């Protein structure tokens, strides 16, 4: 695969996606997006009540993120996106969009040459106990620790032919960033 123009830092809630993604974007000089900032209020309310999101909740949100990735990549901007992207189909939507209405992603530049989002997936992985401990220490986030098990249950670990690396969160932040930077060389 050609050099990526977008990095997806993915994993369950509490895996460190936002922290790693923001630092990585800063190191690379790329634009950073935290997918949590794009959840509609209904999704946030559901999660605050301890209700796990389903595909119907997630797909319009993922389409919005796809449109952002496409827009930035089309303009020559490299992007780091922190997003749970727990299922393979979710990662596919981030790359390719979704065709079936009413959940259709924006058709920006439809008549122009299609924009290819070349994505490297960075999967931050760790044990339930380690990540649960992190969530319990986190304050002011709409995702309650009680939903962590549902995220582990939903998680489909990236696999071939996806372009991905997997990094255990028991490493320190500088080791995680160094591993990703080395992969990009």
Q: Kindly report, residue by residue over 73-101, the tens digit of the pLDDT.
A: 999 999 999 999 999 999 999 999 876 43
E strands of the chain, at which residues? Answer: 6-10, 31-34, 79-82, 119-125, 164-168
Q: Is pLDDT at 112 greater than 80 in this prediction?
A: no
pTM value surpassing 0.85? yes
Least confident among 48-57, 71-80, 99-108: 99-108
pLDDT at position 68: 95
Burial of 2 (0-12, 13-18, 19+ CB in 10 A): exposed
DSSP β-bridge partners for residue 82? 9, 34
Mean pLDDT over residues 46-70, rounded? Answer: 91
Q: Annotate 131-150 with b (16+ C-beta within 10 A) or e (fewer).
A: bbebbeeeeeeebebebbeb
Fold of 6-98+116-184: Rossmann fold (3.40.50)
Contact status, residue 180 vs residue 19, Cβ threshold 8 Å: no
Identify whether 102 is preceded by a cis peptide bond (ω within 30 of 0): yes
How is the chain split into domains, by residue range?
Answer: 6-98+116-184
């Amino acid at each position: 695969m050609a050099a990526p123009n977008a990095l997806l830092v993915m994993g369950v809630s509490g895996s460190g996606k936002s922290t790693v993604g923001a630092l990585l974007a800063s190191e690379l000089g790329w634009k950073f997006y935290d997918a949590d900032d794009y959840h509609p209020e209904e999704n946030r309310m559901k999660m605050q009540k301890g209700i796990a999101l389903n595909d119907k909740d997630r797909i319009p949100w993922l389409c919005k993120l796809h449109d952002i990735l496409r827009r930035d990549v089309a303009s020559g901007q490299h992007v780091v996106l922190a997003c749970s992207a727990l299922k393979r189909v979710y990662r596919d939507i981030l790359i390719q969009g979704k065709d079936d209405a009413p959940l259709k992603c924006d058709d920006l530049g439809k008549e122009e040459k299609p924009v290819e989002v070349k994505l490297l997936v960075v999967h931050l992985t760790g044990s339930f106990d380690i990540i649960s401990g992190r969530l319990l220490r986190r304050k002011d986030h709409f995702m309650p620790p009680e939903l962590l098990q549902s995220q582990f249950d939903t998680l489909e670990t990236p696999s071939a032919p996806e372009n991905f690396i997997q990094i255990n969160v028991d490493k320190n932040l500088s080791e995680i960033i160094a591993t990703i930077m080395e992969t990009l060389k």
